[in-house]
């Protein structure tokens, strides 16, 4: 697994193992591989993430928007990705496209190979489309799943008292992609490279869920097909070691109908496919969340004007970074950073929670 924090190089350093179980590294929970249902998959295979044969790779589940969070968690642990059907209504999709289309039209071709020249992008989706902020980024299934994988909880000594800290997820980036006819395929890559992750090979996802730094969410603004550039990714690659090179022969495609969504770890090898059509745009509204103690990839403090941020709901403001990563990371004047948006936030008080204040 990757190192999570300067001293956190194995799951036993995280509070849930130390505090709740008093387990050492030699007594970590049994890590079982959870098989996904063969009746709801978009990739062939029977669950060996380290195979060099596509047919052996883990199944990728396709779930309804009524799926429970635990079902989504289990699916992600196995293959690294999961499709959620009908995640966002077509009506909301149309509003988001109307909000963002002017920004796409102003974008210019990318210089270099990472993005095709036919691709256009729009950023800062939280500020540029309130509907996107509410219906895509703050989607309850996505946010609940991020809480499962990206919340960090720990305890520390302050003198002779234990101080408990919970660091909740925050936004990593937000991008709308418009991939037009003629676009070449994007190179396979991992988005967690932003965090200098050096992943270690593992046969199954850890039961404490403390492995990844980021979780992505891609919502289709129009149907996404193999022909028009659907996201391709390698199931099971979230369990690979850093040195293993991606192989295009192992990819599967997240084909989506308008309003469907694809959720995927930042540790999965993935990339946009070539748009081989002559008249189809692939439109995608995407975001990643990361841990509260890591730097945002897209700097939301600079990308979105403060006056715009003040008009957004409190939960959106917190996800955008205007919240304290406990015990006290990100303060302004030794106060919760929400104070710059809300003058009612009280300052000059302890930001640490002692044992008696601990939230279960």
For 260-277, what is each residue's pLDDT tens digit? 999 999 999 999 999 999
Of 39-48, 140-149, 245-254, where does mean pLDDT reach its minimum?
A: 39-48
At 353 the pLDDT is 66
CA proximity to 193, closest of 79, 290, 80, 116 = 290
At 140 the pLDDT is 98
According to DSSP, the residues that pair with 83 across neighbouring strands are 62, 262
What average pLDDT does the structure give for the chain? 87
For 81-139, what is each residue's pLDDT tens digit? 999 999 999 999 999 999 999 999 999 988 878 888 999 999 999 999 999 999 999 99
For 52-82, what is each residue's pLDDT tens digit? 999 999 999 999 999 999 999 999 999 999 9
Lay out the sheet containing 270-271: strands in order across: 252-253, 232-233, 270-271
Q: Report the length, in residues, of the chain.
A: 360
Over 50: is that where the pLDDT of 324 sits? yes
Tokens of 60: 């990728």
For 9-53, what is each residue's pLDDT tens digit? 443 333 343 333 332 333 333 333 333 333 333 443 347 999 999
């Amino acid at each position: 697994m990757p190192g999570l924090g300067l001293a956190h190089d194995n799951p036993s350093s995280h509070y849930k193992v130390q505090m709740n179980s008093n387990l050492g590294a030699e007594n970590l929970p049994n890590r079982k591989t959870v098989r996904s249902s063969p009746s709801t998959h978009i990739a062939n295979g029977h669950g060996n993430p380290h195979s060099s044969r596509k047919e052996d790779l883990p199944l990728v589940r396709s779930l309804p928007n009524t799926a429970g969070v635990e079902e989504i968690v289990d699916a992600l642990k196995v293959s690294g990705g999961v499709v959620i059907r009908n995640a966002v209504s077509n009506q909301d999709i149309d509003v988001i496209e109307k909000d963002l289309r002017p920004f796409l039209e102003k974008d210019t071709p990318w210089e270099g190979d990472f993005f095709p020249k036919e691709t256009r992008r729009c950023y800062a989706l939280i500020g540029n489309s309130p509907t996107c902020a509410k219906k895509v980024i703050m989607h309850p299934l996505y946010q609940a799943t991020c809480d499962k994988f990206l919340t960090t909880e720990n305890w520390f000594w302050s003198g002779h008292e234990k101080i408990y800290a919970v660091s909740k997820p925050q936004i990593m980036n937000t991008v709308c992609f418009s991939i037009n006819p003629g676009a070449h395929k994007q190179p396979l890559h991992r988005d967690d490279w932003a965090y200098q992750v050096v992943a270690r090979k593992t046969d199954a996802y850890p039961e404490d869920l403390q492995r990844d730094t980021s979780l992505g969410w891609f919502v289709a603004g129009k149907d996404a097909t193999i022909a028009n550039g659907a996201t391709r990714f390698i199931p099971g690659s979230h369990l690979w070691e850093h040195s293993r090179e991606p192989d295009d022969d192992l990819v599967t495609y997240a084909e989506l109908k308008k309003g469907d969504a694809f959720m995927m770890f930042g540790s999965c090898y993935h990339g946009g496919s070539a748009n081989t059509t002559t008249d189809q745009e692939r439109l995608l509204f995407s975001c990643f969340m990361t841990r509260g103690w890591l730097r945002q990839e897209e700097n939301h403090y600079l990308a979105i004007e403060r006056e715009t941020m003040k008009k957004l709901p409190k939960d959106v403001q917190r996800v955008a970074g205007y919240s304290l990563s406990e015990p006290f990371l990100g303060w302004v004047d030794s106060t919760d950073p929400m104070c710059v948006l809300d003058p009612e936030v009280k300052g000059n008080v302890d930001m640490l929670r002692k044992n008696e204040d601990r939230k279960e």
